[in-house]
């Protein structure tokens, strides 16, 4: 029944064989059990630097096996991150049946995904998968030297993951993905400037350009002054927008939040500005991602927001069943209270450059990063957080001076609401948390943002 | 497993390391979750492997393999040394590790009732029962969870240290959410995620979740119609011990991590407003403020016998009578800072680099009580149970929200308040501390979700805490 992806290499095939070994043990233990198995193998490596030197440099081999079984409606799951010999796999299977046996009947068990082909995607790069510590160190060296003497800190990471899924329902799929990231700051003593770059391919990372950008932003932000809190028009760089979209996705478009009435989303209504289009599409070449989720469901291309009108909700099979809908392929590995986690999401860019956003502002702020954002109320999606890595006051279309970090308390859904989005940037930027958690967003120009405190309280 | 760790260290030294250490770890975990009267999730995990640190010159390398065998250990040692050699391309000044005598020994956390011996149906019955009760008393959604962790680890260093530890941790908690037209309200018990410790299942049995479930459901419902916490520039604020644990964790614990102070976390977790030049003289808070980092407290979540560099557990003074006097350090960071002690370095698994983590960072109790604080307050607000937390990258400017508040008028707790928040600047806030609960109210709160590092690690930290009163605090911040 093996059905590795066409073109799958040895690692993917072996991952699938391992998944099927576990399924075989499940069948031997209880022929009537439903079961799904996820296998992840690969390498993760990350080189950190601070004060201009590499101070932490790590790598690991990844080998994880997860199994979920349902027997007579009783469900349990177990994971193994270690040797995958027959004795360990038998113990894994025995343990999950033991847990299922004493679990109560799960009335909301949605059953297994039926065999369905996945989208034909392969966000992979051999050079990234094989990247050496010397290559990562060379990228760090380029960033540090490009910062022209400023103190630097950050990280360069590369990851390569092979994934396989197999179930007793006959679904058997494989995939793979790579990611490479550089994320660093340059520091003047009174300011930090940041630059980031993510890609499927390590060769795409321009560490020197990132170092130069971080240094320029740090110098431009040096010796910031205070600014009175209040409502300001803002240009938010993509990192801030990624933060907004992350919260909107989990608390707004998560199937569990919608089912329990904790979400602001009312599908079909024009709840957001007409310039906002937010969609999931793992096949989009601008970002990465695996073609299937932890339940083996193909990741569906869906519009969460189209021209400001809210639409699809992100479901795993459990929340889809509760909603009378189909899974969108957003099940997470392991325990997950959210029900439908985002992957391969795109906030569609517009046609306005960040520079022209700034020139159109009479009085407002240009913000680089948000930091430590936390939910005050999930339904209204009121969030508090701070700015970081550079804020500038804009007057009469010109950046006039850097300002100290500010605290804000702002409704994120309201921020994207009708009339509040003045322009969407032409600078789509990839944010990656590994090969299977990727987000592409541009800058945004918003009419109003509530800053509620200054650096001094 | 010492043979695996020894093979790893020897391989790293043979490959050119001047120092190496290796941790072999076997761990297992269990989480059970119930929602609205039904168990929704039973998940068990098992992990095993070896992680090796190698030092060449002043440069580190780390490699981990999910296989606790001598062959994998040797491979991991060689790879760690190769990574350390790559690090020398962008090397810092020479550094020696702060001297720690090599030790051999074993340690195990106290455990009366092995959490793994408790039948799953007993756990399920508890969680299902309390979620049903919360639903019957006003909750639209009721959740309860229990967690069990067990870790065995063996550490070998090239300096001769050989220590093994067996740590059993567990805990449980519940929360009720009530959904209104415009917002949601939540009540949790005993704390935002529950309560956790390096103890056996006796900890969970002591929590009396069943006895609190009805109240939690009713309070969540009542909060929907309670008046908003007023917006005031300055009022007297009394915090319960659970919120104080969060206050300590965020505004003191992270601020005194030496790696942050040295800039090692500058690009990610952030730095600290504290300047080492002021260690021993900086005024952090009022005279009542006495903070220790004590890894020896029996049953607290941040306790251990040895940290992951082999330094024996100890109690370190962090703030003495309001003055900042200590930090959380590792052997390399202490050496860079010129400090003589380490002992606060841990990794969350075999595959993660040990780094500076909080142990049990908490308050030494005072001589007051929550009751006395309320009686002594003419006009103020009492808040408890953390709901949100946000603090800047220097650990200076914070805004924290609680699940529930009460108005205090004329020394009495009056009406309930919803959406209570407060904000402040750390030394100014701690400087306003004027009443502190006594030993009877001293609680070792456990935080099982402290995120730090790249790749991210989830640390388990403890926070001995008591109720406290602060004067002139800004509350009720809204956008």
Q: Is the pLDDT of residue A457 over 60?
A: no
Structure-block tokens of residue B50: 């070896």
Residue A311 has phi, psi (to 5 degrees) of -135, -105
Q: Which among B69, B388, B479 has CB closest to A410? A: B479
Q: How many CB atoms lie within 10 A of CB A252?
A: 28
Please report where in the chains the tokens 């957080």 appear, as a residue: A385
Cross-chain residue pair A53–B91, CB shorter than 8 Å: yes
Q: What is the pLDDT of residue A1?
A: 46
Cross-chain residue pair B39–A106, CB shorter than 8 Å: yes
A to B CB pairs, distance under 8 Å: 272
Q: What span, in angstroms and rounded, lies between the C-alpha atoms of B435 and B340?
A: 34
pLDDT, chain A, mean: 95
The helix/strand/coil state of A210 is: helix
Over residues A67-95, mean pLDDT: 94
Q: What is the pLDDT of residue A240?
A: 98
Query: Which helix H or strand E contains A58, and what residues bound it?
Result: strand A53-71
Q: How far is B216 from chain A (nearest CA, A)?
A: 18
Q: What is the pLDDT of residue A334?
A: 79
Determine how β-strand B195-197 pairs with β-strand B162-179: antiparallel
Give the residue with greater pLDDT, A432 vs A335. A432
Q: What is the pLDDT of residues A412-430, one digit of tens each?
A: 999 999 999 999 999 999 9
Determine how β-strand B315-320 pairs with β-strand A53-71: unpaired
Cross-chain residue pair B47–A81, CB shorter than 8 Å: yes
CB proximity list for B208: less than 8 A, separation 6 or greater = none
Q: What span, in angstroms and rounded, lies between the C-alpha atoms of A449 and A152?
A: 31
Determine how β-strand B162-179 pairs with β-strand B104-108: parallel
Q: What span, in angstroms and rounded, lies between the C-alpha atoms of B220 and A379?
A: 15
Q: What span, in angstroms and rounded, lies between the C-alpha atoms of A297 and A328?
A: 8
pTM of the model: 0.95
Please list every residue in chain B whose beta carbon sits closer than 8 Å to the beta carbon of residue A457.
Answer: 397, 423-425, 428, 474
Structure-block tokens of residue B358: 């909080």
Q: What percent of chain A has pLDDT over 90?
A: 88
Q: Is the pLDDT of residue A288 over 50?
A: yes
The helix/strand/coil state of A188 is: coil
Interface test with B, best of A49, A57, A156 (most B CBs within 10 A): A57
Residue A454 has phi, psi (to 5 degrees) of -100, 180
Q: What is the pLDDT of residues A336-384, one digit of tens each?
A: 777 788 889 999 999 999 999 999 999 999 999 999 999 988 888 999 9
Peptide bond preceding B190 in cis form (omega within 30 of 0):
yes
Q: Is the pLDDT of residue A456 over 70?
A: no
Q: What span, in angstroms and rounded, lies between the C-alpha atoms of B431 and B323?
A: 10
Query: Which helix H or strand E contains A6, and what residues bound it?
Result: none
Please list every residue in chain B whose beta carbon sits closer than 8 Å to the beta carbon of residue A99.
Answer: 42, 44, 120
Interfacial B residues in 313-332 facing A (CB < 8 Å): none
Q: What span, in angstroms and rounded, lies between the C-alpha atoms of A77 and A332?
A: 13
Q: How far is A235 from chain B (nearest CA, A)?
A: 18
Around A147, how many Cα atoms within 13 Å sit in the side-chain half-sphere? 32
Q: Which among B124, B397, B421 has CB closest to A103? A: B124
Q: What span, in angstroms and rounded, lies between the C-alpha atoms of A421 and A419?
A: 6
Taking 50 as the pLDDT cut, the residues of chain B under it are none
Strands (E), B308-429: 315-320, 323-324, 345-346, 355-356, 361-363, 379-391, 397-409, 412-417, 421-425
- Picking from B396, B413, B448, the residue whose alpha carbon sits closest to that of residue B282 is B396
Contact B170, B148 (CB under 8 A): yes
Q: How far is A347 from chain B (nearest CA, A)?
A: 25
Q: What span, in angstroms and rounded, lies between the C-alpha atoms of B16 and B61?
A: 12
Q: What is the pLDDT of residues B183-208, one digit of tens each?
A: 899 999 999 999 999 999 999 999 99
């Amino acid at each position: 029944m093996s059905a590795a992806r066409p073109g799958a290499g040895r690692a993917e095939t072996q991952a699938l064989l391992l998944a099927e070994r576990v399924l075989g043990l499940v069948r031997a233990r209880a022929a009537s059990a439903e079961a799904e198995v996820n296998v992840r193998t690969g390498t993760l490596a990350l080189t950190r630097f601070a004060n201009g030197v590499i101070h932490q440099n790590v790598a690991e081999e990844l080998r994880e096996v997860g199994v979920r079984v349902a027997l007579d409606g009783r469900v349990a799951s177990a994971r193994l991150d270690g040797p995958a010999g027959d004795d360990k796999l038998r113990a894994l299977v025995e343990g999950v049946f033991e847990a299922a046996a004493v679990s109560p009947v799960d009335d909301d068990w949605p059953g297994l995904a039926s065999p369905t082909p996945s989208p034909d995607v392969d966000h992979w790069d051999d050079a990234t998968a094989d990247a050496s510590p010397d290559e990562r160190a060379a990228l760090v060296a380029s960033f540090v030297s490009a910062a022209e003497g400023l103190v630097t800190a950050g990280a360069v990471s590369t990851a390569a993951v092979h994934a396989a899924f197999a179930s007793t329902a006959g679904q058997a799929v494989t995939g793979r993905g790579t990611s490479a990231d550089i994320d660093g700051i340059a520091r003047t003593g009174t300011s930090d400037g940041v630059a980031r770059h993510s890609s499927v391919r390590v060769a795409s990372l321009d560490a020197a350009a990132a170092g130069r950008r971080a240094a320029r932003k740090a110098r431009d932000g040096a010796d910031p002054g205070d600014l009175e809190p209040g409502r300001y028009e803002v240009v938010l760089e993509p990192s801030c927008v990624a933060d907004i979209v992350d919260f909107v996705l989990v608390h707004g478009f998560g199937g569990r939040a919608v089912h329990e009435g904790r979400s602001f989303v009312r599908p079909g209504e024009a709840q957001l500005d007409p310039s906002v289009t937010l969609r999931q599409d793992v096949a989009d070449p601008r970002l990465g991602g695996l073609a299937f989720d932890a339940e083996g469901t193909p990741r569906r291309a869906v519009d969460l927001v189209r021209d400001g009108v809210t639409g699809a909700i992100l479901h795993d099979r459990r929340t889809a069943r509760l909603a009378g809908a189909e899974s969108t392929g957003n099940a997470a590995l392991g325990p997950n209270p959210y029900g439908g986690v985002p992957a391969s999401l795109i906030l569609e860019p517009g046609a306005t450059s960040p520079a022209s956003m700034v020139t159109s502002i009479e009085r407002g702020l240009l913000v680089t990063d948000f930091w430590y954002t936390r939910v005050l109320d999930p339904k209204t999606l009121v969030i508090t957080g701070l700015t970081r890595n550079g804020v500038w006051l804009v007057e009469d279309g010109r950046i006039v001076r850097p300002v100290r970090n500010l605290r804000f308390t702002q409704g994120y859904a309201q921020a994207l609401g009708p009339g509040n989005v003045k322009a969407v940037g032409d600078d789509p930027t990839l944010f990656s948390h590994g090969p299977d958690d990727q987000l592409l967003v541009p800058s945004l120009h918003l009419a109003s943002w509530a800053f509620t405190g200054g650096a001094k309280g | 497993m010492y043979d695996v760790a020894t093979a790893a260290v020897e391989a790293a030294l043979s490959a050119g390391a001047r120092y190496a250490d290796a941790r072999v770890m076997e761990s297992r975990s269990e989480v059970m979750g119930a929602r609205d009267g039904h168990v929704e999730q039973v998940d068990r995990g098992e992990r095993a492997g070896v992680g090796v640190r190698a030092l060449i010159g002043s440069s580190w390398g780390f490699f981990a393999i999910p296989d606790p065998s001598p062959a994998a250990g040797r491979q991991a040692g060689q790879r760690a040394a190769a990574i350390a050699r790559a690090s020398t391309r962008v090397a810092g000044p020479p550094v020696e590790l702060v001297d720690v005598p090599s030790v051999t020994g074993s340690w195990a956390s106290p455990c009366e009732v092995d959490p793994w011996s408790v039948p799953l149906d007993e756990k399920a019955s508890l969680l299902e029962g309390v979620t049903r009760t919360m639903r019957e008393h006003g909750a639209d959604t009721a959740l309860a969870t229990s967690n069990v962790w067990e870790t065995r680890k063996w550490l070998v260093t090239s300096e001769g240290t050989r220590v093994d530890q067996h740590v059993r941790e567990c805990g449980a908690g519940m929360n009720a959410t009530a959904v209104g037209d415009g917002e949601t309200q939540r009540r949790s018990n005993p704390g935002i995620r529950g309560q956790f410790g390096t103890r056996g299942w006796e900890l969970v049995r002591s929590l009396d979740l069943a006895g609190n479930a009805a109240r939690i459901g009713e309070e969540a419902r009542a909060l929907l119609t309670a008046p908003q916490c007023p917006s005031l520039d300055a009022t007297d604020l009394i915090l319960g011990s659970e919120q104080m644990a969060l206050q300590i964790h965020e505004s003191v614990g992270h601020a005194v991590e030496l790696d942050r102070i040295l800039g090692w976390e500058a690009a990610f977790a952030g730095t600290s407003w504290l300047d080492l030049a002021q260690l021993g003289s900086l005024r952090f808070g009022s005279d009542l403020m006495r903070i220790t980092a004590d890894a020896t407290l029996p049953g607290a979540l941040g306790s251990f016998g040895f940290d992951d560099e082999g330094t024996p557990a100890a109690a370190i003074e962090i703030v003495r009578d309001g003055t900042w006097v200590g930090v959380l350090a590792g052997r390399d960071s202490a050496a860079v800072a010129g400090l003589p002690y380490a002992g606060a370095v841990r990794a969350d698994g075999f595959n993660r680099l040990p780094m500076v983590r909080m142990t049990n960072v908490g308050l030494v109790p005072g001589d007051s009580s929550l009751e006395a604080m309320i009686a002594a307050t003419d006009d103020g607000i009492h808040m408890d149970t953390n709901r949100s937390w946000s603090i800047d990258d220097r650990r200076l400017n914070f805004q924290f929200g609680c699940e529930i508040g009460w108005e205090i008028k004329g020394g009495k707790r009056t009406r309930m308040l919803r959406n209570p928040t407060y904000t402040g600047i750390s030394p100014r806030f701690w400087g306003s501390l004027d009443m502190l609960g006594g030993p009877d109210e001293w609680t070792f709160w456990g935080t099982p979700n402290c995120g730090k590092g790249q790749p991210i690690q989830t640390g388990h930290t403890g926070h001995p805490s008591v109720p406290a009163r602060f004067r002139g605090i800004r509350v009720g911040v809204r956008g």
